Amino acid sequence: MVKFYKRLLLVLSLTGLISGTVIYYTVDIHTFYHLNAFKSWSLLAVLVFLGLGLYFDGTRLVHLVRISGEDISLMGAVQVVFSNYFLAALTPGAAGGAVAQVLFLRRAGVPTGKATVIVVVRTILSILFLLLCLPMVLYFDPGLMPWLSENLLRAISATIILGIFSIIWLLRKNTLAYFLVLFTKRLHYTRRRRIFSVYRDVRGAILMLSSAPVSMVRVFLESAASLLSLYSVVPVLFMGMGVDPDLVRVMGRMVLLNLLLYFAPTPGGSGIAEGGFIVLFSEFLPSGTVGITAVVWRMIVEYIPFVIGLYFTVKVFGRNFLASQIK
């Protein structure tokens, strides 16, 4: 239990240090003027969008569990979602979030094998949506990567789309297993076993995706609704600052930033999220406000669910569970 509290204190200290540093290096003499003009209605609006994002995240999990032949209540699904936010923020690369989801699904009566596949499917659907959006992001925001010509952009877009469907096809046919054997034959047995374990989970997720295409379309749309609702928090905060944002460009940059955060090595993407936000959105905001906006964004979409996830985890599993998971 002591180790858990040390980890929690470390994460909170890191979060506070990053937030303080971001604010310190981005404020100027205009900051308080713009903050005084902040429209309070926008805070209520961002909570509405946060609620919508979490709701659709819960409903897509309910429908995924049903596709697998099991059942879970919406309340049970919401607990899974919040537990992901909590343990993901405490572990490098958000690895603990997947463990928490599987444990909560097991408690809801979903077998471990199916629970693992469901968690992988959730992640794949989110990343798939972001990857499919990426060509449109680059097209409507040419200033994001000005060195990309239209012809190169078309080639990148076609490669992304073709690559996604090619990988899905190869996984369904199990063709990638042959290349995986060649790639891993010189690796240590333990590492090979881990790689093939991940491969089996991913392939199981792809097979599940293709087993009920109509239902999966619904889940994919719920994934899109969840992500877009959560990303809408940012332009609403901009409007609270008195900015009339370019919604297409702002949402596009949120897609790019969150795609990068899926592969961030730090707990909960701390540091990378704030830094990326400042780089991508400083041109949209009044002077001296981008750092504070970045911190408020993280507090709303990450730290509020984190606290709720802590509550559900302790309530359901007890404090001893935390000690056993934080190693």
Q: Where are the domains of the chain?
A: 1-324
Helix (H) or strand (E) holding 212: none
Report the SS3 class of residue 232. Answer: coil
The 8-class DSSP code of residue 25 comes to H
What is residue 187's predicted lDDT score, i.e. its pLDDT? 76
Report the SS3 class of residue 205. Answer: helix
Q: In this predicted model, what pLDDT tens digit does every residue of 206-238 receive, in sequence order?
A: 777 777 788 889 999 999 999 999 999 999 999
Q: What angle do CA 79, 81, 82 make, to 5 degrees?
A: 65
- Interhelix angle for 150-173 vs 189-211, to 10°? 100
This prediction's pTM: 0.84
Q: What angle do CA 136, 141, 146 make, to 5 degrees?
A: 115
**Token duo for residue 151:** 């012809």
What is residue 226's predicted lDDT score, i.e. its pLDDT? 96
What is residue 57's predicted lDDT score, i.e. its pLDDT? 94
Q: What is the rounded CA–CA span in Å between residue 147 and residue 162? A: 23
What is residue 305's predicted lDDT score, i.e. its pLDDT? 92
Position 177: which residue type? A
Q: What residues contact residue 327 under an 8 Å CB cut-off, 6+ apart?
A: 3
Q: What is the rounded CA–CA span in Å between residue 31 and residue 114? A: 50
Based on the number of CB atoms within 10 Å of its own CB, is 261 exposed (0-12), middle (13-18) or buried (19 or more)? Answer: middle
CA 299 to chain CA centroid, Å, is 15
Q: Which residues of the chain have pLDDT under 70?
A: 1-5, 7-8, 91-96, 146-150, 153, 318-327
Q: How far is CA 27 from CA 17, 33, 34, 43, 64, in A?
A: 16, 11, 11, 21, 45
Q: What is the rounded CA–CA span in Å between residue 77 and residue 219? A: 14
Q: How far is CA 66 from CA 97, 116, 207, 264, in A?
A: 21, 14, 15, 31
Q: In this predicted model, what pLDDT tens digit does every residue of 274-306 receive, in sequence order?
A: 899 999 998 888 878 888 999 999 999 988 998
Q: What is the rounded CA–CA span in Å between residue 110 and residue 102? A: 9
DSSP string, 251-316: HHHHHHHHHHHTT--SGGGTTHHHHHHHHHHTTTS-TT-HHHHHHHHHIIIIIHHHHHHHHHHHHH
